[in-house]
Amino acid sequence: MIQDRTQDITAMRERVERMAEYLHLEAKGDDIVALETRTTEPGFWDDQSSAQAIMANLAGLKDEVAAYEECSSAVDDLEVANELAVSEGDEGMAREVEDGLRALEKRLESLEVSTWFTGEFDSGDAIVTIVPGQGGLEAQDWTEMLLRMYAKYAEGKKWKVDIHDAPEGVELGIDRAVFTVHGRNAYGMLQSEVGVHRLVRISPTDEKKRRQTTFAGVEVLPVLPKEIEVEIRDEDLRIDVFRSSGPGGQSVNTTDSAVRITHGPSGIVVSVQNEKSQHKNRDTAMQILRSRLYELEEEKRRAEIEELRGERKEITFGSQIRNYVLYPYQMVKDLRTSLETGNVDAVLGGDIDEFVLAFHRWRVKQEQAETVGATADVEAEG
């Protein structure tokens, strides 16, 4: 018996039509035209980093519009296929309709995520910092593994990554990683990664092959638009230049191009060494410093700090947001959403979209529940 899926397809069509409104497609079309115009301006590629960031944003907008159009077209195709399956009793066609509905559901869920980012900086770029926590030298190896994971994830999203600081560890891995991710909704999406990440595996450095637990912390900050004012006085800065070390470009260990800026009043230290140009490294370090000082001021005013950085916890046992277990079994589990998978290699290879989306679905439900609760309280008081 062929099941008529007309009602399901109609519901999908209504969902797609609502999506057009949520996505502000008309405004996105205007943004695409404006960005394409900028790419044709003389000297556009003089600043490679800025140009690549604009191209990444443009690609993200185009992908979002294309994804919507593909969903809309898929509904039309499903409607035709369903009519044929029902009228001709074609079981093969009916199975294709079932498969198509499931595939469209996943595509719509992914597309809907972009409608959840309504924060001031959500649609922009992100500055990500990974630091080793408890676990000794192997925590530095874990830090490098996470850097590779996020780089692969960004590559899959067609985002651009600029690594600013990733000095080699004492024996293995890296001492820290600071990088900017350029792409549509990069900051909004990557807020799912803020917190402590725990790795359990057989120690690669232990001759007795004992199990080792290591930790690394991830911080995500927005790249502030230029119009956001952050007061930084020259007299509060100490700027040191030094020779680059660790992963980097052709100038590593050859010139004093790396820059370290220390902000006296706050004690914040920012190091950048990825560019051959000392001037570019200084500009990037100042950009990162602006974001960190902005966060600090927000904290002092007790305003929206959790949206910028998330709850601070020690990078040790009991504080992790996600576990990555390689031994005695294989599993990655997010402790906030309870999502888990046994395909650890895929996750460490950058396939984390399922975890990112699950977090934001969980976050939105939490926010909606809080809104409903607050409304109920107000009505009860009234």
* 22-60 per-position pLDDT tens digit: 788 888 899 999 999 999 999 999 888 778 878 888 888
| Domain-located, residue 374 | no
pLDDT digit string, tens, across residues 222-274: 999 887 889 999 999 999 998 876 554 444 445 678 999 999 999 999 999 98
pLDDT tens-digit series, residues 144-173: 999 999 999 999 998 999 999 999 988 889
Asked whether residue 322 falls in the same domain as residue 217, the answer is: yes
**How high is the pLDDT of residue 196?**
96
Is residue 377 a part of any domain in this protein?
no
Do 59 and 195 reside in the same domain of the chain? no
Other CB atoms within 10 Å distance of the CB of residue 303: 10
How far apart are the C-alpha atoms of 40 and 48, rounded to whole Å? 14
Domain final position from 116, 151, 172: 116
Domain co-membership, 100 together with 13: yes
Domain span holding position 277: 234-300
CATH number at residue 71: 1.20.58.410
Q: What total number of domains does the chain contain?
A: 3
Rounded to an integer, what distance in angstroms lies between the CA atom of residue 216 and that of residue 239?
Answer: 28
Contact partners, residue 374, CB within 8 Å, separation at least 6: none
Residues 144 and 182 occupy one common structural domain? yes
Residue 229 lies in a domain: no
> Looking at the domain assignment, is residue 308 inside a domain?
no
Question: pTM (2 decimals)?
Answer: 0.75
Same structural domain, 195 and 152: yes
In our burial notation (b when 16+ CB lie closer than 10 A, e otherwise), range 86-123 reads: beeeeeebbebbeebbeebeebbeebbbbebbeeebbb
Name the residue among 197, 218, 130, 134 with its Cα closest to residue 335.
Answer: 197
- 238: domain CATH number? 3.30.160.20
CB 37 within 8 A of CB 29: no
Q: Are residues 107 and 20 part of one domain?
A: yes
Whether residues 177 and 242 share a domain: the answer is no
